[in-house]
């Protein structure tokens, strides 16, 4: 009973931090914005010659990090919001995360989740742009204080939460299951 109550308070505390934290790009001049670290990102496009997305996370980096940022060719782009939400919810549950925020509409999904053993939050962001025939789903990690994250911690997160397997599931979901 005590652990459940403590966990509930912890989740409420983190939810309050997230609600009060400025989002990247929305900070006022002179304020520090939250530093989110992309753990994986999957992009789907219909044109193999589509120009790179300037807002794509993970641009640059070494060979080991580039394997977590992929682009897939799709015959068509559709809003696969429900599929992405099911895959993300399943992954969060499997890893004992509590989902503290879900904003969903067709073609857009934002989920925040945390777990007591992790000092920080996970954020899943899914967007579809049908006019540009592009979709992207990204898993971010950020610390509650908004500070930068040590690269060795990122490597531990990738292994501990099996982000490689999650990426495979996200790839299938973003393509609406048709690979």
Cα separation, 66 vs 11, in Å, equals 32
Asked whether residue 6 carries a pLDDT value surpassing 50, the answer given is no
Residue range 11-49, pLDDT digits in tens: 444 443 444 344 443 333 444 456 888 999 999 999 888
Residue range 127-166, pLDDT digits in tens: 999 888 899 999 999 888 888 888 888 889 999 999 999 9
CATH architecture of 2-22+34-51+62-174: 2-Layer Sandwich (3.30)
Domain layout of the chain by residue ranges: 2-22+34-51+62-174
Q: What pLDDT band is residue 92 in, cutting at 50, 70 and 90?
A: very high
Per-residue pLDDT, 24: 40
The DSSP-derived string for 140-169 is EEE-TT-----HHHHHHHHHHTTHHHHHHH
Residue range 44-66, pLDDT digits in tens: 999 888 887 777 776 544 434 44
End-to-end CA distance of the chain: 45
How many other CB atoms sit within 10 Å of the CB of residue 64? 9
């Amino acid at each position: 009973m005590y652990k459940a109550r403590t966990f509930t308070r912890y989740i409420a505390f983190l939810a309050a931090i997230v609600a009060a934290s400025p989002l990247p790009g929305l900070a006022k001049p002179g304020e520090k914005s939250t530093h989110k670290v992309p753990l994986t990102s999957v992009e789907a496009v219909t044109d193999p010659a589509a120009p790179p997305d300037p807002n794509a996370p993970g641009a640059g980096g070494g060979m080991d990090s580039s394997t977590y940022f992929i682009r897939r060719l799709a015959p068509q782009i559709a809003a696969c919001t429900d599929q992405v939400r099911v895959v993300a919810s399943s992954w969060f549950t499997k890893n004992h995360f509590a989902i503290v925020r879900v904003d969903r509409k067709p073609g857009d999904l934002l989920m925040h989740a945390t777990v007591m053993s992790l000092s920080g939050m996970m954020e899943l962001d899914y967007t579809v742009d049908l006019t540009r025939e592009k979709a992207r789903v990204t898993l971010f990690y950020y610390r509650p204080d908004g500070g930068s994250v040590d690269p060795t911690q990122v490597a531990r997160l990738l292994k501990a939460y099996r982000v490689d397997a999650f990426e495979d599931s996200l790839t299938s979901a973003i393509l609406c299951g048709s690979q």
